[in-house]
Amino acid sequence: MTRQAIPVTILFADISKSSTIYEQLGDQAAQKIVGAILNRLTHLTVQFEGKVIKTVGDAIIATFPSTDDAIKAAKSMQLAMTDDCSLLHQINIHIGIHYGPVVIDNEDIFGDAVNIASRVVDYANPRQIVATRAAVTNLPEGSSHFTKYITKITAKNISGELELFEIIYEDQNTTMVIDCRELSKAICENLYLIRNGQVIIVDVQKPVVSIGREDFNDIIIHYSWISRTHAYIENRNGVYMVKDKSTNGTFIYPQNADPIYVNKGEHLLTGKGIIIFGRGKETKTDNSLTDTIEYDIK
């Protein structure tokens, strides 16, 4: 019997750089802290009429009948992380939100909407809430939530592009955000990525490229040292950034400049050079490996 898909708002909340917590505090202390955080996130989910579907590692997956309530919960989760620093040790979380149809089976959820939400939370930085246009559009008329357009991303096996928005939850000295996408078409150079004779252009039309070992990425590298989604390469209105999301990090070797190691952070790309994912040049490996990408901005 085919189960009917039901539209819900999906929230992923993930502890940022959790491996560092375990390294700094040790397993027993870290588990206690992480458990306390997940309990707090669960309590706030229920408080705002949501339901925690499950915890995966150091993250919770929750659903809400109302997108408005999901965003209220997300804001409360972020603010709660600064309320009791003695308990939480100033640990940060990042949150992704999407609205779409899911199939519910045995208290779990399935479908493209779940995959999209997982990509959105991967994109979010620590202390950031990121939502898709589908989620923002589903807010009630007159909603007081302040949103800021970020970018578009593509996801393998998901049709079309995903427009992402940041949900602002703190008082900020925010200037007016001007959409520079049209301006960028006229003034921005393009980034060319070359791997095994294949060329991918990162520009206004394709502003984000994902790299990882899973098949949903734009550039797929099937090695054990590559994370599922290892890194993103992004065009931010003509500024090109490498954003690492991996365990083993990303190594950038600019032409005529010192090497750069990025791990769960980001770095500006300029000129030309090579990027190696998950290992450095000095690592003794087979010369036929294809985890290296040449880059050229021109």
- In the prediction, which pLDDT does 136 show? 94
186: its two tokens: 């006229």
SS3 track for 126-177: CCCEEEEHHHHHCCCCCCCCEEEEEEEEEECCEEEEEEEEEEECCCCCCCCC
**pLDDT on residue 184:** 42
pLDDT at 63: 97
Q: Which domains occur in the chain, in start order?
A: 6-168 (3.30.70.1230), 181-297 (2.60.200.20)
Asked whether the beta carbons of 255 and 240 are under 8 A apart, the reply is: no
Q: Residue 6: what pLDDT? A: 93
Per-residue pLDDT tens listing for the chain (298 residues): 457 789 999 999 999 877 777 777 777 877 888 888 899 999 999 999 999 999 988 899 999 999 999 999 999 999 888 655 444 446 789 999 999 999 988 889 999 999 999 999 988 988 899 999 999 999 988 788 888 888 888 877 777 788 999 998 864 443 333 333 433 443 457 899 998 888 999 987 788 999 998 888 889 998 999 998 999 999 887 789 999 999 899 999 999 888 999 998 888 898 999 999 998 887 655 555 678 899 999 8
Query: CA-CA distance, 37 to 109, in Å (whole number)?
Result: 23
CA gap 225, 62 in Å, rounded:
30
> Residue 219: what pLDDT?
92
Long-range contacts of 251-260 (CB under 8 A, 24+ apart): 251/275, 251/276, 251/277, 251/279, 251/280, 251/281, 253/281
- The strands making up 239-244's β-sheet, listed across from edge to edge, are 219-220, 208-212, 231-236, 239-244, 266-268
